[in-house]
Chain A
Amino acid sequence: MTRDRLLRRTVALAAAAGLALTAAACSSGSDAGNSGDSGKPAAGASLDPNTKVTISIDCQPPTTKPAERKQWAEDVTAFNKLYPNVTINAKDASPCEEPASFTAQLKGKTQPDVFYTYFTDLEQVLDADQAEDITQYVNEQTVPALKDIDPSVLKTLTSEGKLYGLPTTNYKMGLLYNRKLFKQAGLDPDKPPTTWAEIREDAKKIAALGNGVNGYGDYSATNQGGWHFTAELYGLGGSMTTEDGKKAAFNTPEGKQVLQNLYDMRWTDNTMGATQSLKWPDLMTQMSTDKLGMYVGAPDDITYMVQTLKGNYEDYGMGPMPGGRGALLGGADYMFKKGSTPDQIKAGIAWVNFKWLTMGKGQFDYARTKADGLPVGLPQPFLFGGSTLDADNKAKAASATVPVQNYAPYLATSVPGKTEPANAQQIYKVLDGAVSAVLTDKNANVDKLLSDAESQVNQVLANLQ
């Protein structure tokens, strides 16, 4: 088994390197599909529709999401018209990734053939040696939109020059705000603040409405405070770690500005309210009940506020990340289990491409999404640039069900996406403490908090070497 796999990979590599080695050298019959197209690299060719192959895949929408579940089934049927011999064995465990089962599955090598991960999981998956290098399989032919995928997204799925996953969705953080409260406070709901100075001013006006309304809110628990610190630091142009990821790099004027801002809004302006240590979804709950003016978040928070908390799309707007120098970018992707056969990898790529990366199909079939009563027009995912982006925007506008103009300020400003640092959770946990201290301790010393956090993060990073 292992030798066979090794041989195949050698063949694939050799072929890709342009050596005149015929695909017939492949030892096993199941690879027969590759030999058809002469002159093309074996691994890089798309899946032969005649190949019989079964793949297991997770993150099928659960029964609580009937519309999305129905779409998944439809897409599998449509996909099977193209590839009748591919059997997709879907798993609908919810949530798609749960830390304890994810770790246990990697340890036990029991994840599905095509498995869901977050952008930040690559390190963990590689440490467990549980993902196949798919560099050779992904090209303009297997994933036609490849050239338009945001390079910063692909970068998060790449390690030492090797690609390990294909993205399915992503988000860029921005400023979410309550348009209703903006109007009540006499602010222009089409012109959200873009700098922290403006946010402070607007927050004061919103908080002046009284009745328990806060101008601005932020998370500071379960590592989400660290996550938002990172997003806000990126907005000001800062970085969490040095380029090589070995040292902390946030003890800078920008880092200080982030904490100082929060401190000032909490204690000087009194616009953040006395209740702190908030975590997901507290801010959304507050905003959907019109108790919160602004916070930093991702576009799909709007979906949550409407679908789960029964708010109205009209009430929520989105502006660019304050500072505008960078926006934290996160998302999810599929990776391919170590030991999968080339055909399984090809089938998996074909399915991911069909469902998540093809305009007009799968998640980009906006007409269907609209017909199924799901929202169309939110500025997410944000995977593409170039001509694909234009096509996407046009298709989205044609079927829009949500007030797209509410996100115009967010879309108008192109803030470069910046991915999360490696080993994000451990770094976030340290910064969580700093953010929490600033928001709960009136005597907090910002400089000391930052330098303490810096030395702790350096310790964490040194341990990982």
Chain B
Amino acid sequence: MADTSTRTLISETQLNRPLGRAVYWTVLVLVVTAFTLVFLGPLYWLVTGGLKSTQEVIQNPPTFFPQQIHTDTYTEAWSKLNMGRLLFNTLYYAFGALAFQLVFDVAAAYALSKLRPVLGSLILGMMLATLMIPSTVLIVPQYLTVLDLPLLHLNLINTPWAIWLPTVANAFNIFLLKRFFDSVPEELMAAAAIDGASPLRALWSIVLPMSRPILGVVSIFAVVNVWKDFLWPLLVQPDPKNQPLNIGINSLSVGVPQNVVIAALAIASVPTVVFFLIFQRNIMAGLTSGGLKG
């Protein structure tokens, strides 16, 4: 991605003039400072908040540096809130959901885009209609369904399936994938068919390799959605041993000193931040390289 060589709103020549240069550098410094303050500042507050004493955390006016460093708050948060377990659960749910979505949603989008079976567009329409209804409304009928799956009579409560399977019903991801698959040239598909490739093979060796950016986007959405969900895991994972971070921290934080809660939040944020920094190149490339282009 040669960012610098692409012509954008302002031309290179304009920037290279003395005035343009001065303006450019002022804007750059301002933007970098402002962004650092706005986006990293809160994280600083989170990390140092966990190092303060309980009384200092709720002190008015607040202090910018902890008067005394209390690292034991972090160990207390880690052990009392059982953070290791919560983190593991969260990752387990997130990546399980990702696997199910990649398999089922990609297959569905491929079918709707390339195989186009009868009633395909009706099915797509019905899927898109689910975007219009707030999930909060559906939560009780969904809970009743998970409790006793119609026809199969299985109870999924307290199992990871209760989180994994409903995430497959994600119309937005199917819609994104289908739009992307639509742009894979039909001639390639036809050529593969003439060569005797089965639909599965065509998907594997033609469509998927071309769709890496969108698969990246969908993967991020899949993981982030599980990571962010609140009400649903609260209902279907009543056992604290099985709860993900969001629920665990929120429910256990009742009656725990504020500085310990803040330390727990800081701990909870670390893995995402690290994960994100390691994979930021891939994530950013996935999100910006045109997966969602008009």
A-side residues, CB < 8 A to B, are 62-66, 91-95, 98, 100-101, 103-104, 107-108, 110, 212, 285, 288-289, 291, 304, 307-310
Contacts and interface: CB of A to CB of B under 8 A. Distances in A.
Given A64-B81, A64-B252, A104 B139 contact: yes
Q: Which 10 A-B pairs have the closest CB atoms?
A: A310-B54, A108-B147, A104-B143, A94-B251, A93-B238, A64-B80, A64-B252, A104-B235, A308-B257, A95-B254
15 contacts: A62-B240, A63-B80, A64-B252, A65-B255, A93-B251, A94-B252, A95-B254, A98-B234, A98-B251, A100-B234, A104-B235, A110-B157, A285-B58, A307-B255, A309-B257
B55 interface: yes
Nearest to B59: A289
> Main SS of the interface on chain A?
loop
Nearest to A101: B235
Contacts of B257: 308-310
B147 A110 contact: yes
Contacts of A92: 240
Nearest to A310: B54
Contacts of A289: 55, 58-60
A330 to B, nearest CB: 17
A180 to B, nearest CB: 14
A91 B58 contact: no
Given A100-B234, A104-B139, A108-B144, A94 B254 contact: yes
Interface residues of B, number: 29
A443 B256 CA distance: 40
Contacts of B140: 103-104, 107
Contacts of A98: 234, 251
A100 B238 CA distance: 11
Contacts of B139: 100, 104
B144 A107 contact: yes
B231 interface: yes
Given A63-B81, A98-B234, A289-B58, 17 more contacts: A62-B240, A63-B240, A64-B81, A92-B240, A93-B251, A94-B251, A95-B251, A101-B234, A107-B143, A108-B144, A110-B157, A289-B60, A291-B60, A304-B255, A307-B255, A308-B257, A310-B53
B72 interface: no
A370 to B, nearest CB: 20
A92 B248 CA distance: 12
B234 A62 contact: no
